A = this chain, B = another copy of it.
Amino acid sequence: MTIDQILDNIHPLPESSKQTLKQCISEIELPKRTILLRADRIEKRIYFLKQGIVRAYAHTPGHNITFWFGQEGDAVVSMKSYVAGQKGYEDIELLENSILYALEAADLQTLFENDIHIANWGRKFAEQELVTTEERLISRQFRTARERYQELLENNPDLIQRVQLGYIASYLGITQVSLSRIRAEVK
């Protein structure tokens, strides 16, 4: 997944604006188990995932709760840091050796103020994340864990292969034991 594909997929940009934006983006490679973003920091960078898989989890008393998985092409961002300049809820951990595109949030802010195309690109970015987040919320509210597991099996069977089931269970909001029961039924 190239950076051009990722940028264009959010919203097409005129060539000159795209070049301007790309000049602020660098590619980095990081090993499995790296904690890319931390809940207790105000994160200054945003990332796009070229290769790899990541999970976002919150540290809660007793155990950590995984609430998002990112895959190739996804933006990896502490939204609370990016939008409000405040500490987020999530640690984000690389579950595989990964390649990321990195971008300073401050650089992006400057571009927003000076280039209307980039401002609208940033608007589209937030809007798309908004709809995705809303869909996650609705999936969680409308469907049982069993249904959401089946949804995952159909729409994203990769994920279940690449991620250990304890994290999937946490993501679905059930215990690993319950997920095992569901898998025993469904298979």
User: Is B83 touching A141 in the complex (CB atoms < 8 A)?
Assistant: no
Within 8 A of B (CB), among A165-184: 173
Q: Are B58 and A138 touching (Cβ within 8 A)?
A: yes
Main secondary structure of the interface of A (DSSP, over half): helix
Asked if A34 lies at the interface with its beta carbon under 8 angstroms from chain B, I say no
Q: A127-B126, A130-B130 are in contact. Are A142 and B65 (CB under 8 A)?
A: yes
B-contacting 9-mer, from A2-10, A96-104, A111-119: A111-119
Q: Is the CB of A133 within 8 A of B137?
A: yes
> What is the distance, in angstroms, from A114's C-beta to the closest C-beta of chain B?
8
Q: Which of A's residues lie within 8 Å of B, judged by CB?
A: 58, 60, 65, 67, 79-80, 82-84, 89, 112-113, 115-116, 119-120, 122-123, 126-131, 133-134, 136-138, 140-142, 173
